[in-house]
A and B are shown apart, each in its own frame.
Chain A
Amino acid sequence: MDSLVDIEITPQMSGKKNTIISARNVDVFYGEKQALNSITLDIPENKVTSLIGPSGCGKSTFLRSINRMNDLVDICRVEGEIKIAGQDIYAPEVDVVALRSQVGMVFQKPNPFPKSIYENVAYGPKIHGLTSGKNEMEEVVEWSLHKAGLWEEVKDRLQETGTGLSGGQQQRLCIARAIAVKPKVILMDEPCSALDPIATAIIEELIDELRKNFTIIIVTHSMQQAARVSQRTAFFHMGNLVESGATKTIFTSPNDERTQNYITGRIG
Chain B
Amino acid sequence: MEHTHIVTRFDKDLNEIETLLVEMADKVSEQIKQSAKALQNGDIALAEMVSNGDSAINKLEERIDKKAICLIALRQPMAEDLRSAITTLKVSTSLERMGDYAKTLSYRTRELDDLPTMKPVLRTISEMSDKICMMLNLVMEGYVNRDLKKAAKAREADQEINDKTDALFRELLTYMMENPRNIEACTHLLFISKNLERSGDQITNISEQVHYLITGELLEE
Contacts and interface: CB of A to CB of B under 8 A. Distances in A.
B73 interface: no
Contacts of B79: 251-254, 259-260, 263-264
A40 to B, nearest CB: 24
B3 A252 contact: no
Chain A interface mostly: helix
Interface residues of B, number: 18
Interface residues of A, number: 16
A252 B4 contact: no
A251 B78 contact: yes
Contacts of A227: 78
B7 A252 contact: no
A261 B215 contact: no
Contacts of A224: 76
Interface string A224-268: 100100000000000000000000000111100001110111111
A223 interface: yes
Contacts of B217: 253
B7 A265 contact: yes
Contacts of B1: 266
Given A266-B6, A268-B3, 5 more contacts: A223-B76, A251-B82, A264-B80, A265-B6, A266-B4
26 contacts: A224-B76, A227-B78, A252-B78, A252-B79, A252-B83, A252-B216, A253-B79, A253-B215, A253-B216, A253-B217, A259-B79, A261-B3, A264-B5, A264-B78, A264-B80, A264-B81, A265-B6, A265-B7, A266-B1, A266-B4, A266-B5, A266-B6, A267-B3, A267-B4, A267-B6, A268-B3
